[in-house]
Chain A
Amino acid sequence: GAVVSQHPSWVICKSGTSVKIECRSLDFQATTMFWYRQFPKQSLMLMATSNEGSKATYEQGVEKDKFLINHASLTLSTLTVTSAHPEDSSFYICSARLFDRGRKDTQYFGPGTRLTVL
């Protein structure tokens, strides 16, 4: 249980184009999903919290117009990198929150998407 998928797993695009990344919780419903960015040999940096049916909450320094997040259903959140530039090249990874009452509140991660902008 607690499987999260991400699509695509990798993408190469030209500078100026937009790229959409999907994050799905396959066997549970997630009212909250999270988007992270990870540079090589570094830790995960939280970009935003995605809440089903409401606007995402962005971390300080993350441009909301650059990184559009939509959480349209309890199993799907999307991150769109608009007008991508080479500095946006990174590993993007999502997680979905599973809250099991009386037990624990855990984030389960997708496999990540490697974005390369030429």
Chain B
Amino acid sequence: AQKITQTQPGMFVQEKEAVTLDCTYDTSDPSYGLFWYKQPSSGEMIFLIYQGSYDQQNATEGRYSLNFQKARKSANLVISASQLGDSAMYFCAMSSRLYGNNRLAFGKGNQVVVIP
């Protein structure tokens, strides 16, 4: 089985500051993918960033970067220069061959509120 853990309570972030969202995972598969999605109040799930287990470098996509620490099994999302539109739920997810057919296992999510 694979498991994703997101335990931070809701967070308030000052606009223009950086925020780090924690995610730890557990899997016995050496080959896996890690994803972060953003879900604003409208409900849509927006893909943000991907990290493969064999990727040598941490993934970056614009203001999003993934702090991948394989030995610690953590994949924290860093959002730099927060904007009001970043207020949303953020979900960490993982896929692996062992889990089958690239199904995604999701964490419980982190609530972020950006304040002006």
Binding site for B on A (CB under 8 A): 2, 32, 34, 42-44, 46, 49, 57, 91, 93, 95, 97, 104-112, 114
User: A114–B43 contact, CB under 8 A?
Assistant: yes
Q: How far is the CB of A98 from chain B (nearest CB, A)?
A: 10
Task: Give which listed residue, A57, A107, A112, A114, contacts B104 with CB less than 8 A.
Answer: A107
Complex Cα spacing A44 to B105, Å: 9
Could you give 23 example pairs across A and B, Cβ below 8 Å? A2-B47, A32-B101, A34-B103, A34-B104, A43-B91, A43-B107, A43-B109, A44-B91, A44-B104, A44-B106, A49-B103, A57-B101, A91-B43, A93-B43, A97-B102, A104-B52, A105-B33, A105-B95, A107-B104, A109-B45, A111-B43, A112-B43, A114-B43
| B115 CB to nearest chain A CB (Å) | 20
The tally of residues in B whose CB lies under 8 Å from a CB in A reads 21
A109-B101 in contact (CB<8A): no
How many angstroms between the C-alpha atoms of A91 and B42 in the bound complex?
Answer: 11
CB pair A104 B107 closer than 8 Å:
no
Residues in B with CB closer than 8 Å to A46 are 103-104
Q: Contact: A42 with B47, CB < 8 Å?
A: no
A interface: dominant SS = strand
Knowing that A46-B104, A91-B43 are A-B contacts, what are 18 other residue pairs whose CB atoms are under 8 Å apart, sorted by A's residue number? Answer: A32-B101, A32-B102, A34-B103, A34-B104, A43-B107, A43-B109, A57-B101, A93-B43, A95-B104, A104-B33, A104-B50, A104-B52, A105-B102, A106-B35, A107-B102, A109-B46, A109-B47, A112-B43
B44/A112 in contact, CB under 8 A? yes
Whether B45 and A95, one on each chain, are in contact in the complex, defined by CB atoms closer than 8 angstroms, is yes
Bound Cα distance A108, B37 (Å): 10
A49 neighbours in B (Cβ, 8 Å): 101, 103
Give the distance to chain A from B55, nearest Cβ to Cβ, in Å: 9
C-alpha gap A78/B42 in the complex (Å) = 22
Q: Given that A44-B91, A97-B102, A104-B52 are known contacts, is A109 also in contact with B107, CB under 8 Å in the complex? A: no
A91 to B107, CA, bound (A): 17
Q: How far is the CB of A92 from chain B (nearest CB, A)?
A: 10
Contacts of B37 on A, CB cut-off 8 Å?
109
